[in-house]
Structure 1
């Protein structure tokens, strides 16, 4: 893949960077975190006007037909500014799942998404699943009328507190007793849907869902059970790399803030930047960041590879970035001293956001286990 940005990508990066600089400083982020939604609806409308919500919608469906690299540029800049808008949930995950679905209302839903009038959240996590989309207990059964009856619970639905609709994964049980994973469109105002909203460690909003024999129309399935799991797995791997891009933006901002602090803060009559032990540590932070950026590029380059190669590459990228993110932002707090722990100082917010990213759609242990399992399988196949 080409690592240099194209002219169009440079313009995209600059437009997001200007938005962050002009409209979303730390004080704005802290104020929005105290609101019920946790983000600005006015900013979301601006996203629509600027075309960012259409970026990942195929051209055939009225969008811009952008690439994952384009979305990663947006996510990195949003990460720099601690922007809590549900861009990943709606404009990346939601857009992809709808665009590749068999929903009869697909065109209408994508039009609403592009205009900023539809927020979507993916509900695929369960308490026993440990990030595995196939290990779910939520069930869906089709009754004689053709409707689906869905029962179960979902946890940690990213951006679920403000969603207008959910894409819910469930084990679709057929009449002959066989089953497969299905994806279903579930409006947030559906009678019988229980939504428990809460705030996460990084000040964002999530939700848990509950449903018992909730009736969905027969056309609520996004795809049949033969392809839903593969569609979900591909979408989640892409989402993981988008979070990696956001993490890189957060690391870059933490390094920039720390470098500025060392240049301006004085101790013993000298600025901190004159102490080699501190500048060497800042250099180590930069090396971790650049290694993480390289791992993101590698992951993006492998998104269209066969399933096992893609999954291994994504987990390898996430292992490096999760470890680097916690270390870099932790060092940023240490180099700031006690003020780094204050809520009024940005580096602590970057640390919390990077910790949250490291637990979203797979934590460090899960990615290590997946990478080792795939590596062992590849070795066994090679030996055979």
Structure 2
């Protein structure tokens, strides 16, 4: 079977790699991380102009990609360069949900996302939910032509920069039912929306968001009342594949940085990469990385399958990526020594990205639980 990229995806990969290698240096990233927004509006606009956001949407949605391998092509390069800009949250999650569920008026927002003019954030995770998509306690109460939202969301990535929050709320069923969940487009500046932001360890910003009797019109609902779970699960699967590809790209950078270091660092009059023990450790990392690549390709290829098979392959990939990623992060730091812990060295950020990616949408233990349940 041929897993080579198509000509269009190869061009996309080459374009993005050249752009990021020229502009996204360690110093630039550190300044972005230290900024109030947690991302560069200038680089975001330039990447959107290159068509990077458009590659994450289908032609019917106004883009030119949107398939599993389009997502992995983009996110592998973003991971390779350690990009902290919120592509996952604005495009894959926020934009993807609007594209899937939005009416004609709401679909206009997708055009703005693709153009780089609009940021979105998915306000779904809650303090007691762990990684379960179906556990939603924020309530949505219909009163006439309005809906009243009440509750709290946690770790809402990109909330401070988002013009709209896409808020999951329960309109029916028990707290952990799949049925009864709705999504609402809520302008961030709406009265009663309280956003408390903070920086994330691996770059970017998130927020705790409270909804104190927030009132929005019924027209703010995305899709039919109580039926949003299917779309949420589909976008969470796409986001998991994107994270797998991003982690793979970061692993490639970590191992390449380590290879170069072992070839230049001298001890006893020769490069330490000539020592057999270190060669064996590097060989183990390359084997793990190739397994991670195969798992990512497999998950991307099944992204359009029926939910059961899609989620089975995604869980398998995320479990393997999480274990391999942690090994790569830990071993590359150990092989470097103290320099790998300094903020000015590229590996320090890359290793953080690898480790922290495992904690979005389910860590290795959670993914193993999901795989066992889906395999039964």
With normalisation by structure 2, the TM-score equals 0.95
The aligned residue for residue 201 of structure 2 is: 201
The equivalent of 1:159 in structure 2 is: 158
Once the two structures are TM-superposed, the CA of residue 227 in structure 1 deviates from its matched residue by 3.1
Tell me, in whole angstroms, the C-alpha distance in 1 between the residues paired with 2:360 and 2:229.
18
Query: Displacement of 1:2 after TM fit?
Result: 4.8
Residue 53 of structure 1: aligned partner: 53
Q: Distance in 1 between matches of 2:332 and 2:58?
A: 40
**Structure 1 residue 352 displacement after superposition:** 1.0
The Cα RMSD (Å) is 1.6
CA deviation map 1:116-137 (0-9, x unaligned): 1110111110111111111111
8 A contact 1:103–1:221 mirrored in 2: no
1:281-330 residue CA offsets vs partner (Å, 9 max, x unmatched): 11111111110010011111211222222111111100000111111011
2:62 maps to what in 1? 62
CA–CA distance in structure 1, aligned partners of residues 290 and 61 of structure 2? 36
**Corresponding residue for residue 266 of structure 1:** 266
- Specify the alignment match of 2:219 in structure 1: 219
State the alpha-carbon separation in 2 of the partners of residues 24 and 3 from structure 1.
28
What is the distance in 2 between the residues matched to 1:289 and 1:360? 20
Q: Is the 8 A contact 1:312 1:371 kept in 2?
A: yes
Task: Tell me, yes or no, if structure 1 residue 171 matches structure 2 residue 170.
Answer: yes
Secondary structure at the residue paired with 1:242? helix
Distance 1:315 1:325 in 2: 15
Q: Is the 8 A contact 1:58 1:99 kept in 2?
A: no
Distance 1:66 1:107 in 2: 16
Deviation at 1:66, TM superposition (A): 3.3
Residue 101 of structure 2 aligns to a residue whose secondary structure is coil
Are the equivalent residues in 2 in contact too, given 1:168–1:186 (CA < 8 A)? yes
C-alpha deviations, 1:56-113, integer Å up to 9, x for none? 3332343224322112111111111111111111122222111111334223212211
Partners of 1:121 and 1:171 lie apart in 2 by: 18
Aligned CA distance change for structure 1 residues 66 and 238 (closer, same or farther; 3 Å): closer
Output the CA distance in 2 between the equivalents of 1:6 and 1:312.
26
1:42 to partner: Cα distance: 0.5
When structure 1 is superposed on structure 2, of 243-252 and 54-63 the one drifting more is: 54-63
Instruction: Confirm or deny that 1:275 pairs with 2:275.
Output: yes
Deviations 1:27-71 (A, max 9, x none): 111111100111110111111211112223332343224322112
Q: Which segments of 5 or more consecutive residues in structure 1 lack a partner in the other structure?
A: 377-384
Q: Deviations over 1:173-200 (max 9, x none)?
A: 39xxx96011111111112100010011
SS at 2:321 equivalent: helix
Q: Distance in 2 between matches of 1:2 and 1:127?
A: 44
Equivalent position of 1:379 in the other structure = none
Aligned-partner SS, 1:157: coil
Contact 1:141 1:173 in 2 (8 A): no
Please give the secondary structure, in 2, of the residue aligned with 1:150.
strand
State how far apart, in whole Å, the 1-side matches of 2:145 and 2:191 are.
19
Q: Please state how far the C-alpha of 1:369 moved relative to its aligned partner.
A: 1.2
Contact 1:93 1:239 in 2 (8 A): yes
Cα distance in 2 between the residues matched to 1:306 and 1:49: 34
Report matched runs for 1:1-384 at 5 Å.
Answer: 2-143=2-143, 145-173=144-172, 180-225=180-225, 227-376=227-376
TM-score relative to the length of structure 1? 0.93
CA distance in 2, matches of 1:193, 1:140: 14
- Greater shift, 55-64 or 85-94, is seen at 55-64
SS in 2 for 1:355: helix
The answer (yes or no) to whether the contact 2:170–2:226 under 8 Å persists in 1 is no
What's the CA shift for 1:226? Answer: 5.0
Distance 1:218 1:225 in 2: 10
For structure 2, the 5+ residue unaligned runs are none
Size of the aligned set, in residue pairs, is: 372
Partners of 2:274 and 2:102 in 1: CA distance:
61
